[in-house]
């Protein structure tokens, strides 16, 4: 990917993106779905999936929650 | 406490334990706290190597204690949409996030008084071999920022994107929500892109989905 493509990708925004509040409000439901079937989570909550693809901190929260659920901790 | 319909056995058992009238309520609280603490410790370690030793434990204890309070205050709002543990663990994960945000300022990177636009290409992962294009890119973005962003959008964009200040650190310092900071950067990205498409720097064929 060249410089302009990288910039374009960074600047692109997804209109389905629900924002942090809405994503965090259903994070537990989303995490249980992901733990079972990631595709089902995206299908049921496309706006949350779009948000998690773009928001590093919320994605970290999901990763942490999934790690906690996996029982490895 | 109101019985939640259709709950799995483990979740139902947790709700029973958290009812103050349960004979083994105290033991249940201890068990939950122990789990929250273990998760908090692991989560602090997973997220950062900047915090070590007893500080990990301090932070984990605070996060577990605050999560415990939140869970007890809100347990009646649990509707069984997820397993009880998933619902409960979310609180401790969010506590770790916000505490790490606050912790960032204990030992922040050297203060950056200037806007270091030359950092932008690196922050976007541009290949260092593309010197000339990288310099040009930083200039056009800076011009778009000057033209289109409000003062507030600009300062948040500079801190988050150029200087790499974590969103949760800004939240802790400024007393705002993560959602508000994210939205500010989101709007800034959208406006900068529109300006760069209008002046021909970016290809409009990759459609910009409209929002708000
Ligand atoms: Zn977010």
- Which of B43, B72, B106 is the C-terminal boundary of a domain? B106
A4 at interface of B, judged by CB pairs closer than 8 A: yes
Cα–Cα distance, B31 to B25 (Å, whole number): 10
Distance from residue B196's CA to the centre of ligand 1 (Å):
25
Count the domains in chain B: 2
Q: Same domain, yes or no, for B62 and B129?
A: no
We report the CATH number of the domain holding residue B154 as 1.10.10
Provide the mean pLDDT of chain B: 92
The yes/no answer to whether this complex scores an ipTM above 0.90 is yes
Q: Which of residues 130-169 of B touch A (CB under 8 A)?
A: 130, 133-134, 137, 141, 166-168
pLDDT at B189: 97
Q: Which of residues 15-34 of B touch A (CB under 8 A)?
A: none
In 3D, which of A48, A50, A20 has the Cα closest to residue B101?
Answer: A20
Q: Would you say residue B14 lies in a domain?
A: yes
Using a CB-CB cut-off of 8 Å, the residues of chain A touching B165 are none
Q: Same domain, yes or no, for B138 and B87?
A: no
Q: How far is CA A73 from each of CA A8, A30, B69, rounded to the nearest angstrom?
A: 38, 20, 22
Q: Same domain, yes or no, for B36 and B118?
A: no
pLDDT at B128: 85
Tell which wins on pLDDT, B50 or B98: B98
Closest residue, chain B, to A8 (C-alpha): B202
B48 at interface of A, judged by CB pairs closer than 8 A: no
Q: Is it the case that residue B187 has pLDDT exceeding 80? A: yes
Q: Same domain, yes or no, for B188 and B123?
A: yes
The 10 Å Cβ neighbour count of residue B3 is 9
Q: Same domain, yes or no, for B50 and B23?
A: yes
Closest residue, chain A, to B212 (C-alpha): A15
The alpha-carbon radius of gyration of chain A (Å, integer) is 14
Q: Which of B46, B87, B182 sits opposite A19 (nearest CB)?
A: B182
pLDDT at A71: 79
Q: What is the pLDDT of residues B82-136, one digit of tens each?
A: 999 999 999 999 999 999 999 999 888 777 677 889 889 999 999 988 889 999 9
Percent of chain B with pLDDT over 70: 94
Q: Would you say residue B88 lies in a domain?
A: yes
Q: Which of B96, B183, B186 sits opposite A64 (nearest CB)?
A: B96
Q: Same domain, yes or no, for B94 and B22?
A: yes
B192 at interface of A, judged by CB pairs closer than 8 A: yes
- Which residue carries 């996030």 as its tokens? B97
B206 at interface of A, judged by CB pairs closer than 8 A: yes
- Which of B106, B126, B144 is the C-terminal boundary of a domain? B106
* Confidence label for B208 from pLDDT (cuts 50, 70 and 90): very low
A14 at interface of B, judged by CB pairs closer than 8 A: yes
Q: Would you say residue B181 lies in a domain?
A: yes
In 3D, which of A20, A28, A38 has the Cα closest to residue A64?
Answer: A28
Q: What is the pLDDT of residues B131-169, one digit of tens each?
A: 899 999 999 999 999 999 999 999 999 999 999 999 999
We report the CATH number of the domain holding residue B47 as 1.10.1740
Q: Same domain, yes or no, for B148 and B173?
A: yes
Q: Same domain, yes or no, for B141 and B170?
A: yes
From first to last of its 73 residues, chain A has per-residue pLDDT tens of 899 999 999 999 999 999 999 999 999 999 999 999 989 999 999 999 999 999 999 999 999 999 999 975 5
Structural domain of B65: 9-106
- Which of B85, B106, B127 is the C-terminal boundary of a domain? B106
Q: Quick one: tokens of B40?
A: 């908090």
Q: Same domain, yes or no, for B138 and B97?
A: no
A2 at interface of B, judged by CB pairs closer than 8 A: yes
């Amino acid at each position: 990917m060249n410089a302009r493509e990288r910039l374009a990708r960074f600047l692109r925004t997804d209109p389905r993106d629900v924002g942090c509040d809405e994503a965090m409000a259903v994070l537990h439901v989303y995490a249980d779905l992901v733990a079972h079937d990631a595709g089902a989570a995206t299908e049921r909550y496309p706006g949350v999936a779009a948000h998690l693809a773009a928001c590093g901190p919320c994605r970290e929260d999901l990763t942490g929650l999934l790690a906690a659920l996996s029982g490895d901790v | 406490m109101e019985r939640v319909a259709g709950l799995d056995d483990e979740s139902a058992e947790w709700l029973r334990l958290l009812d103050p009238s349960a004979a083994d309520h105290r033991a249940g609280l201890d068990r939950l706290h122990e789990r929250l603490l273990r998760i908090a410790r692991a989560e602090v370690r997973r997220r950062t190597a900047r915090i070590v030793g007893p500080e990990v434990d301090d932070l984990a204890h605070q996060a577990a204690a605050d999560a415990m309070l939140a869970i007890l205050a809100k347990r009646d709002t649990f509707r069984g949409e997820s397993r009880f543990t998933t619902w409960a663990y979310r609180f401790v994960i969010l506590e770790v996030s916000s505490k790490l945000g606050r912790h960032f300022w204990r030992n922040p990177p050297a203060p950056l008084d200037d806007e270091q636009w030359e950092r932008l290409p690196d922050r976007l992962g541009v290949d260092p071999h593309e010197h000339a294009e990288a310099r040009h890119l930083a200039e056009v973005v800076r011009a778009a920022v000057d033209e289109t962003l409000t003062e507030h959008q600009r300062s948040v964009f500079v801190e988050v994107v150029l200087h790499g200040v974590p969103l949760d650190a800004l939240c802790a310092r400024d007393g705002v929500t993560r959602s508000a900071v994210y939205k500010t950067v989101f709007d800034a990205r959208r406006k900068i892109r529109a300006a760069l498409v209008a002046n021909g720097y970016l290809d409009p064929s990759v459609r910009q989905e409209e929002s708000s």
